[in-house]
Amino acid sequence: MSRKPSVFITGASGEIGHALIARLAADDPERPIVTLDLNPLPPESAAKVRQAITGSILDTALLDGILAQYEVDRVYHLAALLSTRSEFTPALAHKVNVEGALNVLEFAQKQGESHGRPVLFFYPSSIAAFGLPNREVKARAGKVKEDDFNVPTTIYGANKLYCEHLGRYYARHYKQLAAETMSGKVDFRCIRFPGLISAETVPSGGTSDYAPEMIHAAASGQRYECFVRPDTQIPFMAMPDAVDAIVRLMTAPRERLTRTVYNIGAFAPSAAEIEAVVRSAFPHADIRTKVDEKRQGIVDSWPADVDDSAARADWGHAPSYDFATAFGEYLIPSIRKRYANR
């Protein structure tokens, strides 16, 4: 229990959660962090939070219990089924990704009504919210702006795009016919992430995960069959830059923000360029290309790169890792060390 202004993180045991907890705990050690995930929080993260709850965002009674125990004014809603897993279970993906998000938005709304302050709500959307019709259009489109090609081809992308609108509704139009104004309690802020690559965790079912999967396979001496063509290109980002972007957006003055949903980018290598860097670090890597046409079709619908000028102008997005330093200084040394003693 704490009536101090607290932080609530869902999906905290995931790739973003691991890095975000470390950053938030370092930035503001006095602000209690409460986490919720289906999986137990790893010990190194659990040591940094007030309470790590194992449970589901679909359990509204559990969310009401947290509402009674904590005064939350920062929500980071990270829980989701990623794109590949979602394609095998679209109904479950909808339940988790949409109904779950609705539950957490309702939680934030109730928190705001209870303590009277806006609840800053971070929502991670994705480049999967885009849907480019074919490779020619993708090549011509280059860096895609937020409001272009919003026709996703995956249930995950459709879920993410809808939740962007859901968040805007809660922030600006919630119960607009009620006698008194109910909107404005949730300060919804959203980033459409590119493919994220972490040196600290293993990939968890994303269609963009061919990049981290290739590194982990090479470092652990496993064969890797890359499921996309060598010319395949999408934007990527190192996890520390993703967390830095979250913190910059969530600490930006509200009046600086001209959008609810922001693109961010860092580097956009082809699969062949990724393979070349991995081979130079692991000369004995056994990497082959075995295109999975269906998963290739998903990646081909995602943009080659994104225009993140709005994020740079509004809240100072400035990734510190480019392709060379992300792989050479962050990913490969850490992942090599992970398998060195095995």
CA torsion sign for 287, 289, 294, 297 is positive
On whether the CB atoms of residues 76 and 7 are closer than 8 A, the answer is: yes
208 binds ligand AKB (CB under 6 A): yes
17 binds ligand AKB (CB under 6 A): no
Cα separations (Å) of 159 from 38, 107, 128, 163, 327? 20, 19, 9, 6, 31
- Annotation says 339 is catalytic: no
Minimum Å gap between C-beta 270 and ligand AKB is: 16
Residue selected from 103, 109, 126, 232 as contacting ligand AKB according to rule CB under 6 A: 126
3-class DSSP assignment, residue 204: coil
Task: Name the one range near ligand AKB by CB under 6 A: 70-78, 115-123, 189-197, 238-246.
Answer: 189-197
CA distance 267 to 311: 15
- Name which of 76 and 107 has its Cβ closer to ligand AKB: 76
206 binds ligand AKB (CB under 6 A): yes
Cβ-closest position to ligand AKB:
206
Name which of residues 270 to 329 contact ligand AKB (CB under 6 A): none
Task: Name the one range near ligand AKB by CB under 6 A: 123-131, 169-177, 245-253, 274-282.
Answer: 123-131
CA distance 239 to 77: 17
Minimum Å gap between C-beta 69 and ligand AKB is: 32
Minimum Å gap between C-beta 165 and ligand AKB is: 17
Kindly give the residue spans of alpha helices, DSSP state H, lying in the chain: 15-27, 43-46, 60-69, 83-88, 90-94, 100-115, 135-141, 155-172, 210-219, 239-251, 271-281, 293-300, 309-315, 323-325, 332-340
The set of catalytic residues is 156
Tell me which residues touch ligand AKB (CB under 6 A). Answer: 82-83, 126-128, 156, 193, 195-196, 206-209
